[in-house]
Amino acid sequence: MEVPAKTGSFAELYVASQAHLLQPTADNPQPTAVPPPIAATAGTLGVRHVLTLIGLPERGKPFIALRLSKYLSFFHGAEVQLFNLNDYLRHGPPDSLENANDLLGDLATFMGGSSQTAARNMSPCRSNPSRVEHGFTPDAAEEESSELLIDENDRRRKNVDSGKVAIIYCTDSFAAFKHRFSGTSKERRRWAVETLESESEVEKLIFIEVIVDRNDILTANLLAKQRADTAEITRRLSELSGEASELGGEASELTELTHKTVTDFNTRVTQYKRMYVSLQGDGSEDDLSYMKLINYGQKVVTNRMHGYLRMRIAQFLTVIHPMPHSIYLTRHGESEYNALGKLGGNPPLTRAGEEYARRLAAWVPPNMWLPPSGQEGAFVKCRLWTSSLQR
């Protein structure tokens, strides 16, 4: 078993096998201070979570589910699967036990199956395709895996399993309201917790309630939905007629809600509120793990969200939002390694690189600190994200 290296002030951040990456060499006299991350430090090894998104209609729950799944998969290596409750309404009324068992069966299959990420990490052939070209067969890879004591079912082994996360949500809140896994009442939440506790593969069920009470955010959500609906109608008309419809050009330009959209929205939300029960703060649900995401990060309430992955989920959701934002990407100016044709390291900028930085700083204010629509002179500064490297 590898132990943390003892070199430098970042000794806790890497294992001994990576120590050479931090040592100056003739080819890399200015190495980085921290080596690349490894799966063993991802913090999600073998852990199974189920996340259930709840809240009133048109709060962006499908959007959050999709973004959260991509975040957990890309940044933490977790294997994530989305479960839409509207796909589990095939047997009688929505609250039937058969519908619940359908979802429970698929959850068990997903949680209990071998990790695809683990399989990719463990196969010597996959990790080095050139070995296949030179006659290193899959059988030989399996034999080598056995010799290295790599067991894909051992979730405690590093570089094996970065955890699994199932995200339950719905695209039609009304149709799925009474589904037993919908979490729309205290009784349904309690039933879901007790049911999943009997599943040994599931570590924790977490409820994420999306609460939006700001009219500007709700308007933005409805506008986005109206544009999407208009674009979909345009696409279908185009398919039927075989010609591009003029309506398509208007979809992205819609800036006002129609009266019908507002009326339908208010009617639906009023009806839903009469039945929906929010997560309770009176102590009756203090044993549950949950988050209340209020106005997309304006305020966040967490309860029993202990653990690495749960805190990363909370951190990510505090900055997520459905409103459009402009993002500008730029590379750093030319570094000394760039001039030499080298990659990596932590070299300083060349004179050309410093000049690029000065010109970029002069370009940003008049081109990016743009005032909000309809406001003159109220410039808004941008948020800059950069690495800690000297380039």
Contacts for 69 with CB less than 8 Å, ≥ 6 apart: 80, 81, 82, 165, 167
Token pair belonging to 31: 């190495």
Contacts for 305 with CB less than 8 Å, ≥ 6 apart: 206, 289, 290, 291, 311, 313, 314
Can you list the domains of the chain with their CATH numbers? 41-114+157-240+259-318 (3.40.50.300), 329-390 (no CATH)
Token pair belonging to 380: 């808004």
What is the pTM (predicted TM-score) of this model?
0.69
Q: Given this model, what pLDDT does residue 11 score?
A: 46
Give the integer Cα–Cα distance in Å for 11 and 34. Answer: 9
Q: Provide mean pLDDT across the span 280-297.
A: 94
- Which pLDDT tens digit goes with each residue over 90-117? 999 999 999 999 999 999 999 887 665 5
Q: Which residue has the higher pLDDT, 216 or 44?
A: 216
Contacts for 163 with CB less than 8 Å, ≥ 6 apart: 42, 44, 45, 46, 47, 48, 49, 76, 77, 78, 79, 309
Pure H helices in 130-214: 130-133, 138-147, 186-197
Q: Which residue has the higher pLDDT, 307 or 134?
A: 307
Q: Given this model, what pLDDT does residue 262 score?
A: 78
Q: Given this model, what pLDDT does residue 139 score?
A: 58
Token pair belonging to 389: 């490297």
Q: Which residue has the higher pLDDT, 195 or 258?
A: 195
Give the integer Cα–Cα distance in Å for 72 and 60. Answer: 18
Q: Given this model, what pLDDT does residue 82 score?
A: 97
| DSSP single-letter state for residue 206 | E
From residue 285, how far is each of 79, 139, 219, 304, 312 by CA, in Å?
29, 53, 32, 11, 22
Q: Provide mean pLDDT across the span 345-364.
A: 94
- Residues of the chain with pLDDT > 90, as a percent, come to 40
Q: Given this model, what pLDDT does residue 134 score?
A: 47
Q: Which of 146-150, 223-227, 238-242 has the lowest mean pLDDT?
A: 146-150
- Which pLDDT tens digit goes with each residue over 230-252? 776 666 666 665 544 444 444 44
Write out the DSSP string of 228-256: HHHHHHHHHHHHHHSS--TTHHHHTT--S
Q: Provide mean pLDDT across the span 269-281.
A: 93
**Long-range contacts formed by 179-183: CB under 8 A, 24+ apart:** 179/85, 179/88, 179/89, 179/94, 179/95, 179/99, 179/100, 179/103, 180/95, 180/97, 180/99, 180/100, 181/52, 181/85, 181/88, 181/100, 181/103, 182/52, 182/54, 182/85, 183/52, 183/54, 183/207
pLDDT value at 373 more than 70: no
Q: Given this model, what pLDDT does residue 29 score?
A: 84
| DSSP single-letter state for residue 292 | E
pLDDT value at 69 more than 90: yes
Token pair belonging to 309: 């992955």
Q: Given this model, what pLDDT does residue 140 score?
A: 56
The 10 Å Cβ neighbour count of residue 229 is 13
Give the integer Cα–Cα distance in Å for 181 and 104. Answer: 9
The 10 Å Cβ neighbour count of residue 306 is 9
The distance of Cα 305 from the centroid of its chain, to the nearest Å, equals 17
Angle between helix 215-241 and 259-275 (nearest 10): 120
Give the integer Cα–Cα distance in Å for 169 and 81. Answer: 11
**3-state class (DSSP) for residue 290:** strand
Separate counts of helices (H) and strands (E) for the chain: 13, 6
Would the CA dihedral through 84, 86, 91, 94 be positive or negative? positive
Kindly indicate the confidence band of residue 187, based on its pLDDT and cuts at 50, 70 and 90. Answer: very high
